[in-house]
Structure 1
Amino acid sequence: MDKDEATSKTPDRQTPRLRERDWWPASWARAIADIGSVTPARREAVLRDIDEGSSPTTVYYVLLGISELIAGFALIVDSDATLIGANVVAPLMTPIFGVSLGLMRGDLKLLRKALMAEFGGAILGGALCYLLGLLPFIGDPSPVLLAQTRPTLIDLLVAALAGFAGVLAMIDERVSPALPGVAIATALNPPIAAIGLCLASGAYAGAFGALLLFFANVLAILAVAAVLFIVAGFVTRAEIGSITGLARRFAAAGIGLLLVTVLLSNHLANLVHKLRTERAIHTVLDQGLSEQPNTALVSVDFSRGPNGVDVLSTIRAPRVMSPETVKVIQDALSERLGEPVQLFMRCVLTADVSATGSTNVRPYLSLNGRVAEAPLSPTMRLLQQAEQVARETAGKRPELVLKDVDLVKLPAGPVIVIAIESPRTPTAEEVRRFEARLRERLQEPSLRLVLRRTASVDMTSKGRILFGEAHLVDADAVEAQARDAAEKAVRDRIEALPHLFAPAVDAVKRDNGWDVRAEVVGPRVLTPMEVRDIEQRSAKELGQPVRLSVWARTELKVTDERYEPLGD
């Protein structure tokens, strides 16, 4: 007894493992078998549903009109979610099945009303979307709208699969026909809306493309439905009649499907060629721009003309691209594509900056939702590291502003060009020390440094800033009066000398006296002895030590009578 029970239970324990391993072929076989084993009652119910659903009633046209308007808005605003909502409402599945059954069974009444429902509804939807396209808020065509005007063979295959799913749902009462109905509407609803919008915009080529997509999808669903209805036994041998009669009924649909397939195959071949060309253009542009600091490719558009390929690329860069650089990339494109290329670069002036300085970041997120950094060439990596070192140094010098860092490649080695803004010119020794630091940090012994200085002048209402404390630190009335007295004493002593002027004098109180800086202009430079004499005379007047530093400049206005400072 126990042995028999064990033996009888063995297949039950193995069956789940077999089904789990072979679930997909078993499921497909079971689904195909179900098509041919439809009960007579279910067959009658399906035929009744198709006959009723193919009737061009007022409710049918209202639903279809609403769905097409929703689809039109979805194509305008580029909303996939809204387009799905439009496809849920569209009652386009059943009339196509009615056309298929009408052709197979020779039922002219069913065929007539199904054709009226399908194509009459399509004309109504196209007309409503045409009126929608005339409204003033229509802007540039969205990507989802453009997709409806460029059909390919892939769209035909998608429509065929949607028709297969729709017939299965109609036959199997366990499946709601609403789900595959959405799939079929996805193949038919958006092209109808696109036809109306394109006609309203005067885009007749686009309207033809959308019309071609609509007819291609209708014919594909029609053919698949006809085959499955025969397999499922919805059409008897007597209803089919002779092979000649069946061929005559399906002649128009078959010829149309063949022509559409040829056209869409050509469209698909053109699309594949276009994608390959676009990929090649992107590759060449990425390679060329990788040598340009902080430059990223945003978009590429191209078209073929009588003289070759015209390429319009939009890039983000900190400066306008030079014609020489554009020529180099253009020649590389011509060599890669094997035909003449005319390259136009639209430069959007921007700069990507991180905490350590400039960086190269692509203008989009990667598929995993993270910021994707453009790959850096060795040259750009060297430039980025040099900028980081320059920013570290400039951060310790508040009077120095780092403006730009560039790299020039010479046969003798790389040259880093650093543009700064500073009130004074760095000495050659300072440049030499910084160059040595760059070589050490970047591990580039052949690197050379060029410092490009832009003179800066910091002014307040008091005058040129020589001591920031004298301009920007609050002082009480007593301290301010003492500072003014110190500055006046030094200025009076300087301007007592012939033809010398002191347009700016700043004094700061220290523990052991006054630190004074003076800007002195005149036809000559003060001698150290004169500076010492001014210190002593000013200290005697103020009763406190004075240490004077003079910034001497030969910058005067000379007339036939006298010398005058430029400030006057």
Structure 2
Amino acid sequence: MPFSSDYARKMSPAQKISARQRIIEPSRPSGSFYLLVCLSAIIATLGLLANSTAVVIGAMLVAPLMSPIFGIALGLASGDRQLLKTALLADIAGIILAVALSALIGMIPLRPDFGSEILARTQPNIYDVLIALASGLAGAYALVHEKISPVLPGVAIATALVPPLAACGLNVAAGNWPLAWGAFLLFLVNFIAIEFAAASVFMLAGLVELAHTGHNSKFKAIFSSMGVSLLILVLATGFMTQTLIKIVSERQLEKQIRTVLTGQLDKYAGARLSELNYAQEGSELEVIATVITPQGFAPKQVADLEGSLKAIVNPQAGLIVRSVITEDADRNGPVFVSVQELRQRSQAVEEARYMNDISLIISEEMRKLGGAQVSNVSKEVSDDNNIITAVVRSYQAITPAQVQKVEQRLNAEVDSQIRLIVRTAITKDADSQEFLHQAVPFEDALQEQELDLYKRMLNEINWYLQRQVSGIMVADLWFKEGDDHALQVYVTVKTPVILAPMLVAELQEHLVRYIDPRIVLIVESKVGGVATASELYQTDE
């Protein structure tokens, strides 16, 4: 029984001649062939650069490279060496021309970045082999059957020949040799798969006559015609199966990483995964996650995310989070702000208002003194008290009585827990005529009764001390009424010796008896003096 299908028995000699003619004629190189190769290569290259699927499909329809492949299949199956040589040279010339034109276009300085249409043709897999085999079977069957020849354009679209060559040329121009090899491998696999499938159809259709010898001899004849193609196809299929497994594995890994990070980022208000990159070397996995977030990720938060990757994806996973800080707002104000941040913002606003109120009151009180200016106000917390330290520039020291007055106002209007400390920086201001803001003596600020009390105390203290210590004199005297209604009297004396507490106590008792029973005396001794051969005395500086 002849090695052919039922259809082969129905093909008349005239139909066989006609079918062979339809295969052989387009397999011979001509000017039209090379023109179509150039046009299809240009269209495919520009379509890939524009990332346009429609344009790439147009290039597939124009490309004439499938016809010589059918010629090669017929030449191998029938042993027609002349046809094999002619068709093979046509395809090799077309391949070189397509790659060269694409590479030249890829050298244009204004070339855009490579898009998905190019990258999709640099990683061939087993699916490409199966598509090419099916396309080769359909194309060859259409050639031997005139009634279904209109399906050839669809076959051309299904099997991409020129687009992989264009992608190869573009990657050669860019120096991306691994991607260039991947694109050329896709073309080569398509080429061999179409040739093998077409040769099989030609034999089954009876277009190729096999010797009517033994069964083994027929298989030997088939293998001698297509054995090399089959071997290359099997090897390529194995390689592409590994490629497919790798692609699927990488996609599953990326999906797993993305799922874990997305789930963990949902815990942080306003944070979302923008970009994910990873590299795996052996058992180690390095992940770089670009996160859009209203606030940067702290090391502890990154550690928590990394812990989730180690627990679910890979125990050797390492994570770097690249925070892209954003501020989102609607008409009501900021959005995607954490409760903690809202609390911190509220506390900062309250603290600023608190310190502003304190500064205003201190400034107002200092202005009343004339020549005093507040340069800094700070706060410390100690034993549940807010210690406010005000640095004031003034021509004279701010007295405790003046500080107490300001503190009482702060306690009444701002916070009852405030304790005020005023640090005076003594300054002297002058214009072209005189010093400004000179210190006002204590006695000049007193009213009639207070002034009378001041003079009486000054005279009495001078009289009493000069009887006890030779050369002593009062340098300064001021007083104030304390919280317990005691009259606190502060005296600075210039003396050759430090006054003993007993002497101060005796002086206080004397003042209580003759001046005011409320007096509490504090004496500051400034030791120094001038002596002659006959006496020791103080001089007024």
User: With structure 2 as the length reference, what TM-score do the two structures score?
Assistant: 0.61
Choose the corresponding residue for 1:157, options 122, 130, 137.
Answer: 130
| Residue equivalent to 1:271 | 247
| Residue equivalent to 1:535 | none
| Equivalent pairs, count | 382
Distance 2:424 2:141 in 1: 98
Stretch deviating more after TM superposition (241-250 or 270-279): 241-250
Stretch deviating more after TM superposition (81-90 or 164-173): 164-173
Distance 1:154 1:555 in 2: 84
**Residue aligned with 1:319, SS:** coil
Contact 2:327 2:334 survives alignment (8 Å): no
Label 1:560 to 1:214 Cα distance change in 2 as closer, same or farther (>3 A).
same
**Residue aligned with 1:311, SS:** strand
| 2:278 is equivalent to residue 302 of structure 1 | yes
| Residue equivalent to 1:44 | 17
| 2:304 is equivalent to residue 405 of structure 1 | no
Kindly state the Cα deviation for residue 140 of structure 1 after the two structures are TM-superposed.
3.4
| 2:154 is equivalent to residue 180 of structure 1 | yes
Q: Deviations over 1:297-340 (max 9, x none)?
A: 12222222256122222222222222222222222222323341
- After TM superposition, the structure 1 = structure 2 runs for residues 155-234 of structure 1, keeping only pairs within 5 Å, are 155-170=128-143, 171-184=145-158, 186-234=159-207
Contact 1:36 1:231 survives alignment (8 Å): no
| Residue equivalent to 1:21 | none
Distance 2:273 2:50 in 1: 26
Distance 1:183 1:284 in 2: 40
- After TM superposition, the structure 1 = structure 2 runs for residues 4-43 of structure 1, keeping only pairs within 5 Å, are 41-43=14-16
| 2:59 is equivalent to residue 86 of structure 1 | yes
Choose the corresponding residue for 2:237, options 252, 256, 261.
Answer: 261
Distance 1:56 1:353 in 2: 67
Choose the corresponding residue for 2:292, options 316, 319, 328.
Answer: 316
Contact 1:35 1:168 survives alignment (8 Å): no
Opposite residue 229 of structure 2, the aligned amino acid is A
**Residue aligned with 1:234, SS:** coil
Radius of gyration: which is bigger? 2
Distance 1:103 1:109 in 2: 10
Kindly state the Cα deviation for residue 261 of structure 1 after the two structures are TM-superposed.
0.9
Q: Deviations over 1:259-289 (max 9, x none)?
A: 1011111111111211111111111111121
Contact 1:404 1:418 survives alignment (8 Å): no
Label 1:99 to 1:554 Cα distance change in 2 as closer, same or farther (>3 A).
farther
**Residue aligned with 2:321, SS:** strand
| 2:83 is equivalent to residue 110 of structure 1 | yes
Contact 2:196 2:226 survives alignment (8 Å): no
Label 1:271 to 1:243 Cα distance change in 2 as closer, same or farther (>3 A).
same
Kindly state the Cα deviation for residue 52 of structure 1 after the two structures are TM-superposed.
1.1
Label 1:165 to 1:244 Cα distance change in 2 as closer, same or farther (>3 A).
closer
Kindly state the Cα deviation for residue 216 of structure 1 after the two structures are TM-superposed.
1.1
Opposite residue 110 of structure 1, the aligned amino acid is L
| 2:303 is equivalent to residue 327 of structure 1 | yes
Distance 1:163 1:455 in 2: 84
Distance 1:85 1:407 in 2: 57
Kindly state the Cα deviation for residue 41 of structure 1 after the two structures are TM-superposed.
4.7
Distance 1:215 1:254 in 2: 13
Give the CA RMSD over aligned residues: 4.0
Kindly state the Cα deviation for residue 175 of structure 1 after the two structures are TM-superposed.
4.5
Structure 2: runs of 5+ lacking an equivalent: 375-391, 393-401, 414-419, 430-435, 438-541
Structure 1: runs of 5+ lacking an equivalent: 1-31, 356-390, 392-400, 409-414, 426-451, 458-465, 467-492, 504-520, 532-552
Identical-residue share of aligned pairs (%): 29
Kindly state the Cα deviation for residue 237 of structure 1 after the two structures are TM-superposed.
2.8
Kindly state the Cα deviation for residue 151 of structure 1 after the two structures are TM-superposed.
1.0
Opposite residue 104 of structure 2, the aligned amino acid is L
| Residue equivalent to 1:76 | 49
**Residue aligned with 2:427, SS:** coil
Kindly state the Cα deviation for residue 248 of structure 1 after the two structures are TM-superposed.
2.0
Contact 1:404 1:419 survives alignment (8 Å): no
Kindly state the Cα deviation for residue 141 of structure 1 after the two structures are TM-superposed.
2.7
Opposite residue 98 of structure 2, the aligned amino acid is G
Label 1:455 to 1:194 Cα distance change in 2 as closer, same or farther (>3 A).
farther
| 2:217 is equivalent to residue 285 of structure 1 | no
Distance 1:127 1:304 in 2: 35
Choose the corresponding residue for 1:344, options 315, 320, 338.
Answer: 320
Opposite residue 194 of structure 2, the aligned amino acid is I
Distance 2:255 2:409 in 1: 70
Label 1:216 to 1:494 Cα distance change in 2 as closer, same or farther (>3 A).
same
User: With structure 1 as the length reference, what TM-score do the two structures score?
Assistant: 0.59
| Residue equivalent to 2:345 | 419
- After TM superposition, the structure 1 = structure 2 runs for residues 384-403 of structure 1, keeping only pairs within 5 Å, are 391=332
Choose the corresponding residue for 1:65, options 33, 38, 42.
Answer: 38
**Residue aligned with 1:405, SS:** coil
| Residue equivalent to 1:560 | 427
Distance 1:164 1:36 in 2: 19
Distance 1:249 1:330 in 2: 58
Contact 1:37 1:232 survives alignment (8 Å): no
Distance 2:233 2:85 in 1: 20
Contact 2:295 2:325 survives alignment (8 Å): yes
Opposite residue 156 of structure 2, the aligned amino acid is V
**Residue aligned with 2:138, SS:** helix
Kindly state the Cα deviation for residue 74 of structure 1 after the two structures are TM-superposed.
2.2
**Residue aligned with 1:148, SS:** coil
Distance 1:65 1:317 in 2: 50
**Residue aligned with 1:176, SS:** helix
Contact 2:73 2:199 survives alignment (8 Å): yes
Opposite residue 79 of structure 2, the aligned amino acid is G
Contact 2:45 2:163 survives alignment (8 Å): yes
Distance 1:187 1:36 in 2: 33
| 2:101 is equivalent to residue 128 of structure 1 | yes
**Residue aligned with 2:160, SS:** helix
Distance 1:173 1:329 in 2: 64
Distance 1:421 1:403 in 2: 18
Distance 1:559 1:407 in 2: 47
| Residue equivalent to 2:92 | 119
**Residue aligned with 2:147, SS:** coil
Distance 1:454 1:70 in 2: 69
